[in-house]
Structure 1
């Protein structure tokens, strides 16, 4: 099958950036609509093409989060779980009346959903009902079937976190991105740092670290959203409202977390949980997340006593800039192994792509 948009190329280049960051398995977000596949339709038609386009291109193992964008996608959830091993799904919280992307004034055209449907709070509730129905249909997988909420709408996220305390039987989990732990509005100021949710002042960054140190964050992610210069910036270039949200960061995940975490007293064992064991357990990667018999030989070697400066030019990503430009790091990933295969050797990506699609749950 022909590649879909830039998916095939991204599988190669951005998985190389993952290897730089010590990432051995990438869980990639995917949806229909503009800026992703640039097409609509059923996942029964689209997702096999995605799998075909990316097969044999990735340097690390990979799986997908899918977003149910329309009514038909919700109906497809059981088939995606059963036939394709997709056990994690995602909803955004800003497409309805809370601010479309700046380059789109028409929701249905932007999201490529049928006329008469809306991506709004009612759709959000129907997605939640669809996820719960799948958990009941596949009880052995219930703890590994999940719905992620992308937290643009602060009121809903605040309510969800409060619900986590009031309803302990609901398995709420909390994640934070390495970008929000590293950068603030001063160190990564400018349109290149536009992201959802937005970067915040330094006091908010330190508040996030307090929650990490208190064990109130379950995993740290890269939220790697590679935006080439021509995709990131609009016309005029200085107009923040026409700039695309998101930036890459997988290549700085482990180095950044160790640099800033150890400085604040975060043990390396906790970093391993935050980046490996916890997400692997939650997302059905049963052969990932630990170094022991029966698990894949996935691990990264880190020099925790070296100083270097972030430069976008040194990244394997096709993104030509980074909001982390000039950041001082005190740890560096030197080697990355995926199922025993060395994919990063003394800081350089090596060999052919050996990444495999992870049909979840993986292994026993």
Structure 2
């Protein structure tokens, strides 16, 4: 399938000045409402009553019957699991197809980031279709030592720590082999940089290693066996540990891909006295459980959980205990998943299907309002990760990032139509209701009706200032 439009149509759609008419605007703090938007020089220039007269020289984009969300933000994307250089093109095409205008990618390196950052930027700057920022993963002593420099020089205000990259596991990856002493020092350092977030993969790897060793004898392992190797206590205990240290030291933390009721309950209790804990879950923890028959295709970390845990994630989205939904997107080929179960790779693609999943399984089933979905995918990630007020809203002065959505469009997920380096999706064959039909980045249409508009390299790097 050709996902790219003709040159003639591209020129027609690349105007960065227009008035958007006919849409219902979706914002996190109010019900959807009819409003026209004037866009000038890639920014929201005015919020207008529907039908406000305008000069005939200003182009009009008609969006009758559609809902206009602020451009979506995926705060959890991985690159480099396939062909890293080309992935900056393929995975940002994939993001634009799903209505996303900004992504935050995890950058893991066993050297100083000062030695490799410029090279990474060269790769990304020339290839990205959407705006992008980085989380730096920290696992070397020099990473912690140089955090203040990374903040000032590169505008990176979030740092990933893997509690499972411990001891031998870390050294195997060419890292120092971190421990709780390293975590303590990391949080203490972060506390001196107001607004910096430590993104902490919460997993008690010692318990996991013991259980996994015993499970190796299972002849026909299933996703339930994978879940039993990483039971809820391994997530909950690690959450307690990092929240305790964060409160003690005054650090701000973000817990990605939370997946269990046990861990979420601990977060609820802790945040009553220490609010600087933010929580993310992923679409697959809302739609898949440990009884899934996907086999190694569904292998993830954290694993799919029980049906009760799935329900707990929906409850957390509804009551506000969970702040964001992000993909944990990993662009692997299907072949890497079809190895013997214990050797099969973990993770799968996900950015392009986040919104259809939340609309189909959330909004259309009465679990989530449109305003709450807007908060989860726009306002909250922009606020938490220092991209507001430029991103995450349609207020005057914000970037004109707009995702136009047809709530009633029902279509079957076909991974080959979405543009990822990956050649499969967990949702292949699912019929989902509610799809983005146009993605506008800084006033320029970059996707319309499943076709990509414009060349790679339009995406800009988002250097993030620290909160005061």
Report whether the alignment pairs 1:270 with 2:270: no
C-alpha distance in structure 1 between counterparts of 2:451 and 2:293, whole Å: 26
Aligned residues: 330
CA drift at 1:63: 0.2
C-alpha distance in structure 1 between counterparts of 2:137 and 2:330, whole Å: 16
**Contact (CA 8 Å) 1:7, 1:50: kept in 2 or not?**
no
Residues 270, 317 of structure 1: CA spacing in aligned structure 2 closer, same or farther, 3 A cutoff?
same
> Which of 178, 187, 194 does residue 119 from structure 1 map onto?
178
Report the counterpart of residue 325 of structure 1 in structure 2: 428
Map residues 143-182 of structure 1 onto 2, 5 A cutoff.
143=195, 145-153=196-204, 154=235, 155-158=237-240, 160=243, 161=267, 164-165=270-271, 167-168=273-274, 170-182=275-287
Q: Which has the higher strand share?
A: 2
Report whether the alignment pairs 1:214 with 2:284: no
**Contact (CA 8 Å) 1:152, 1:196: kept in 2 or not?**
no
CA drift at 1:361: 2.5
Moved more, 305-314 or 22-31: 305-314
CA drift at 1:248: 0.9
CA drift at 1:204: 1.6
Paired residue secondary structure (1:306): strand
C-alpha distance in structure 1 between counterparts of 2:373 and 2:297, whole Å: 28
CA drift at 1:193: 1.1
Residues 300, 187 of structure 1: CA spacing in aligned structure 2 closer, same or farther, 3 A cutoff?
farther
C-alpha distance in structure 2 between counterparts of 1:362 and 1:78, whole Å: 11
Paired residue secondary structure (1:323): coil
Report whether the alignment pairs 1:247 with 2:317: no
Paired residue secondary structure (2:455): coil
- Give structure 2 stretches of 5+ with no counterpart: 1-79, 205-234, 244-266
C-alpha distance in structure 2 between counterparts of 1:240 and 1:123, whole Å: 32
Report the counterpart of residue 355 of structure 1 in structure 2: 459
Paired residue secondary structure (2:438): strand
**Contact (CA 8 Å) 1:59, 1:352: kept in 2 or not?**
yes
Q: CA RMSD in A?
A: 2.2
Map residues 40-189 of structure 1 onto 2, 5 A cutoff.
40-96=110-166, 107-110=170-173, 112-113=174-175, 117-133=176-192, 135=193, 142-143=194-195, 145-153=196-204, 154=235, 155-158=237-240, 160=243, 161=267, 164-165=270-271, 167-168=273-274, 170-187=275-292, 189=294
- Give structure 1 stretches of 5+ with no counterpart: 33-39, 98-104, 136-141
Residues 362, 95 of structure 1: CA spacing in aligned structure 2 closer, same or farther, 3 A cutoff?
closer
**Contact (CA 8 Å) 1:188, 1:323: kept in 2 or not?**
no
CA drift at 1:28: 0.5
C-alpha distance in structure 2 between counterparts of 1:74 and 1:362, whole Å: 17
C-alpha distance in structure 2 between counterparts of 1:123 and 1:251, whole Å: 36
Moved more, 76-85 or 346-355: 346-355
C-alpha distance in structure 2 between counterparts of 1:88 and 1:363, whole Å: 12
Residues 79, 165 of structure 1: CA spacing in aligned structure 2 closer, same or farther, 3 A cutoff?
same
Paired residue secondary structure (2:461): coil
Paired residue secondary structure (2:277): coil
CA drift at 1:179: 1.9
C-alpha distance in structure 2 between counterparts of 1:91 and 1:362, whole Å: 19
Paired residue secondary structure (1:252): helix
Report the counterpart of residue 313 of structure 1 in structure 2: 416
**Contact (CA 8 Å) 1:16, 1:349: kept in 2 or not?**
yes
**Contact (CA 8 Å) 1:220, 1:275: kept in 2 or not?**
yes
**Contact (CA 8 Å) 2:271, 2:277: kept in 1 or not?**
no
Report whether the alignment pairs 1:21 with 2:98: yes
Report the counterpart of residue 299 of structure 1 in structure 2: 402
C-alpha distance in structure 1 between counterparts of 2:93 and 2:291, whole Å: 29
C-alpha distance in structure 2 between counterparts of 1:106 and 1:96, whole Å: 5
TM normalised by structure 2 equals 0.67
Map residues 198-209 of structure 1 onto 2, 5 A cutoff.
198-209=303-314
Paired residue secondary structure (1:307): strand
CA drift at 1:106: 5.8
**Contact (CA 8 Å) 1:192, 1:322: kept in 2 or not?**
no
**Contact (CA 8 Å) 2:314, 2:367: kept in 1 or not?**
no
C-alpha distance in structure 1 between counterparts of 2:105 and 2:354, whole Å: 15
